[in-house]
Amino acid sequence: MKKKLFALLMALVMVLSLAACGGDKGGDTQQSSGNDTQQSGDSQPAGDDASGNAPTLAIGYDRATDTNYYGPYYDEWSDMTDEELYDKALNEDKDQTITVYATSSKMIKAEEPFEEMYPGLDLVVADLDSDEVLSKAQIENETNNITADVLQTKDVNGEVFHEYYSNGVIEPFYPKDICAHISEENLKYSYPLYASQAFWYYNTEAFPDGQPIKSWWEIIEKDDSGNQRFALYAKEIGQETAYLSLFASFINNADEMAQSYKDTYGKDLEYTYDASSFAFEVPENNAGVEYLWRFTQAKMTFIGDGDELVLAVHNSTKDRPALALASAGKIGNRDESGYNIAWCIGLSPYTALLNTESMFVVSNCDSPAGARLFIRYITGGADCQSGGLKPFTKEGNWPLRDDFVDEKNPAKLNELGARTNDLVSIYNIYPDVQDMWMYWLSQSPNK
């Protein structure tokens, strides 16, 4: 991604101010307000068109040139049933093989049940890391030697959407009957498998009355003597795309960050950061930038393993309290290992950004019907009874269908304070946010 001047980018964010899209689907959608949930006024609506019909992808549509369009869109594949896709899949490839590049090892568990449900089809899952999934798909596209049919990955800073989807390496598939059970705000940039997020964890024994913080500002709070209230643990945020994207969203939603400070402390925020060291223009009096600056100057312990992060919280005490930022799924240590840990939820201005694992069809693949049949299967099928979602169902993962019975999670997404990710506005400023983080961290007395 090329670096862009901050002033231009912030103006672009304003131009791309989104109209609220989608309605509530059974209460499983998350809060949606601010820049991270808006839609470009220049783009084709993600909902019904002026005639009241769902938008349909025009023949000859070119993602590379029509970059103002966001999903969901529907094409001739969208109305096909499982039976129709199965019949086509049996006749489209010489060995009826469907190859999936996945970032989750749990995808392998789908091989046998899928093949039992659809005799004659062979499912092959390659368990890869995120970089491998994308780089292999890119190379195969450039050399016209395509092996993969389906790609599973997540996009937290817009890289997948802007550099792979928009460039035609991968393409979405929106099955219309299943999409009717998913809020359109979760269909804008991709077709979702499930959603996850990161939480700040606290020690339930040290704070038996509930979480000790209600806003992001309290995380870095100091007492009258200048000592941090909490010991902070996290992965090195400058190396974590999802966390940097969250800080970028705070900058895009600076007004909300400023209001959160005022609500927390009863006074206006004082701006203390100096942006003169950067070659790009940094906005003045931006509460998100101020938070980024203050956070880099806090004393933190970076730990690369999520289990060790929540263990640090478990080992903390009320006299020496700790908070750790880790993925929602690490809550499993509470039951498996007896850790005294819980999520901090409902933080002001919002708890987290929603990280969505998504399914894509590889452009020009050998098994386009088989790819779409598998995507329908893995996301529950027409009636949400295919069993495809089962391997991904655990506390800390949220399938986004309103007809999915979630017995693992004690709370729905809209009860946790997460927000959908605006991949356009975050992509535009992500490189600058990363540069600010790395430089200011290097200047921290607590590094």
Q: Is 360 exposed, middle or buried (0-12, 13-18, 19+ CB in 10 A)?
A: buried
Domain ranges of the chain: 43-196+356-410, 198-353+430-442
* Domain 198-353+430-442 -> CATH class: alpha beta
Which CA distances in Å does 342 have to 204, 306, 352? 6, 14, 15
Paired tokens of 368: 């386009």
Report pLDDT digits (tens) over 269-279. 999 999 999 99
Asked if 43-196+356-410 and 198-353+430-442 have one fold, the answer is yes
Query: What is the rounded average pLDDT of the residues 288-297?
Result: 98
Could you tell me the CA-to-CA distances from 444 to 251, 295, 392, 423 in Å, in that order? Answer: 20, 10, 40, 30
User: Which tens digit of pLDDT belongs to each residue from 309-342?
Assistant: 999 999 999 999 999 999 999 999 999 999 999 9
CATH topology of domain 43-196+356-410: D-Maltodextrin-Binding Protein; domain 2 (3.40.190)
Asked which of 93-102, 117-126, 196-205, 293-302 is least confident by mean pLDDT, the reply is 93-102
192 phi, psi to nearest 5 deg: -85, 145
Sign of the CA dihedral with 44 first, then 47, 50, and 56 last? positive
Question: What pTM does this model have?
Answer: 0.85
Question: Where is 23: in which H helix or E strand?
Answer: none
Q: Classify strands 341-344 and 122-127 as parallel, antiparallel or unpaired.
A: unpaired
Q: Average model confidence (pLDDT) for the chain?
A: 87
Residue 69: band (very low, low, confident or very high) from pLDDT cuts 50, 70, 90: low
Cβ proximity of 248 and 437 under 8 Å = no
- Provide the percentage of residues in the chain whose pLDDT is more than 90: 78
